[in-house]
Homo-oligomer: A and B are copies of this chain.
Amino acid sequence: MNDTTAALSSAADTKQLNRQIRLAARPRGLPVASDWALTTEAVHPPGAGGVLVQTLALSLDPAMRGWMNEGKSYIPPVGLGEVMRAGGIGRVVASSHPGFSVGDTVSGGLGVQEFARLEAGEIKASGLVKIDLRLGSITQWLNVLGMPGMTGYFGLMDVGQPRAGETLVVSGAAGAVGQTVGQLAKLKGCRVVGIAGGPAKCEWVVQELGFDACIDYKAPAPQGVARWDAVREGLKQHCPQGVDIYFDNVGGDILDTVLTRINRKARIIICGAISQYNNTTPVKGPANYLSLLVNRARMEGIVVFDYVDRFDSAVSEMAGYLKDGRMKSREDVVPGGVEAFPDALGRLFTGENFGKLVLEVARP
């Protein structure tokens, strides 16, 4: 990591180098070192109406795995040779845009690089906005107040439509989206049961975040019991009234297992499928999807970008919860700058991260 803010306090200084992580190859299965290339280029000042942002921290997200694949998705794939797409927090170090001043803290699509030069025509597409650090820390702005938080907020509120007294289950419960969803659902009066990998995460969401229960899907199943049967037993035990809302971050066998326990008119929010992202075989479809028919239930996808116009009010609400302690956040901050990106990303898929995974690129 580099403390270069001072060195780049004026756009005139172009001696600074920008290290970048580029996509070198499309991975098959888990990304490996050779899928990435570290490049270095000189930092140039932006043209008229542009800004230069020094990256402070980057958000590492499961969705990144999808962006590395060829083919149509909700956004185009990252091109081979391009700087890897990433959202992050940075500081404006040069600006000729009327909306941004040197020293502003900003959030947006900065990419895995130390400096992001955004020309006038690129600022809107990058989603660059000023953020207020009085509402939350830099890492919280990548977590509860950022994309994961907004994903959880709108997925739960708009698609899940929680009512007090209902039971919500969320997978990836200790992850960035999961922690927001579970805590928010508690605030809305739901019974909340998490699914997470390992006793530490399960204990944390119950003890610290106030979930009613958490099922450890990695726990050794009793003799003669398949792992998913054990998860199903956990759901029976902890959701005695069935499942009204399932917020799915993982897909695969966990989705299939929860489908066997849903209530009539249940809502299943499809937010992600991290268990399937590195498949080298076809995605496992939910074999129990006919439970949707039997239960007149709904399965619906959510993409956070659709809600950008409503972020401000959601951020206000969430910042209020953070401030008065009704919502907690946990970030897993990896140091080491952009070079550490490939290894850090891998931790998402092994479940090694504990809380929102953030890559620190420079000290603020």
Contacts and interface: CB of A to CB of B under 8 A. Distances in A.
Nearest to A269: B293
Interface in A276-308: 276, 282-303, 306
B296 A287 contact: no
Contacts of A296: 74, 300-303, 306
A273 interface: yes
A50 to B, nearest CB: 31
Q: With a 10 A CB-CB cut-off, give which of A273, A286, A290 has the most chain B CB atoms.
A: A290
Contacts of A271: 293
A350 to B, nearest CB: 21
Interface size class of A (residues with CB under 8 A): 20 to 34
A285 B257 CA distance: 13
Count the copies.
2
A213 B45 CA distance: 57
A270 B286 CA distance: 14
B289 A293 contact: no
A194 interface: no
A256 B270 contact: no
A300 B301 contact: no
A302 B297 CA distance: 8
B299 A292 contact: yes
